[in-house]
Amino acid sequence: MIHMKDVSKVYENGTVALDHVNVDIKKGEFVFVVGASGAGKSTFIKMLLREELPTSGDIVVNGFDIVHMKHEAVPYLRRGLGVIFQDYRLLPDKTVFENVAFAMQVIEAPRRLMQRSVNAVLDIVGLREKYKDFPSQLSGGEQQRVAIARAIVNDPAIVIADEPTGNLDPETSWGIMDIFQRINQSGTTIVMATHDKTIVDTMQRRVIAIENGSIVRDEAQGVYGYEA
């Protein structure tokens, strides 16, 4: 699913964001990426999306050679990825249904399939009855659930989440994590960068800890390992 071999990233100002990173993530895994701010987590995530390229090393994501692929192949890479951010990134002038459907419009999915798929994922996240609402009418937790629905509507092989509970209260966060667990149980690989110690410690999934651009821990049933 995801393979990084000897990956380093040095920015033009000399900052070493990643330093000889080696990672293998298999299909169906649920992986937390943890570490202090500035440790290299965001660069790690951006590499998977091909928003950043490594200075050296090799990366394969869902069968795509990130380093050597042609630019015109990037949209096909991203079709197999569902991406969720801390700040939701919903389109304010579109309804819940339209926000989720937008991900299918981009790939020119048939209208009949779009209707069926959007309704199905809104059921998964518990927002079917709010399909006509706009983002401004929703709570933060509901907006994040719309973002999750949008990320999974095209049935991605991998879901990448960057601090998805960062703006949410603990109770709402657990509701979001329940959705992620159900997605994972269906066979989807999940990679989640997070600062949420309670979630990581409670769930006991694989934990990759990054410090100063290097992987310092990679544990099958790990804990957060830092002060909250």
pLDDT in tens, 166-207: 999 999 999 999 999 999 999 999 999 999 999 999 999 999
Q: How confident is the model at residue 219 (pLDDT cuts 50, 70, 90)?
A: very high
pLDDT, one tens digit per residue, over 104-157 is 998 888 999 999 999 999 999 999 999 999 999 999 999 999 999 999 999 999
pTM for the full predicted model: 0.94
pLDDT, one tens digit per residue, over 7-35 is 999 999 999 999 999 999 999 999 999 99
Predicted confidence at residue 70, as pLDDT, reads 94
What token pair was written down for 95?
Answer: 């309804």
pLDDT, one tens digit per residue, over 73-93 is 999 999 999 999 889 999 999
Predicted confidence at residue 38, as pLDDT, reads 84
pLDDT, one tens digit per residue, over 40-67 is 999 999 999 999 999 999 999 999 999 9
Nearest-angstrom CA–CA distance, 65 and 53:
11
Length of the chain: 228
Nearest-angstrom CA–CA distance, 199 and 33:
12
Q: Rounded to whole angstroms, what are the CA distances from 152 to 2, 68, 81, 82, 205?
A: 18, 27, 8, 6, 21
What token pair was written down for 206?
Answer: 């694989």
Residue 19: which of 35, 2, 31, 30 has the closest Cα? 35
Nearest-angstrom CA–CA distance, 204 and 227:
17
Residue type, 224: Y
Q: How confident is the model at residue 228 (pLDDT cuts 50, 70, 90)?
A: low
Token pair 């290299």: residue:
40
Predicted confidence at residue 227, as pLDDT, reads 72
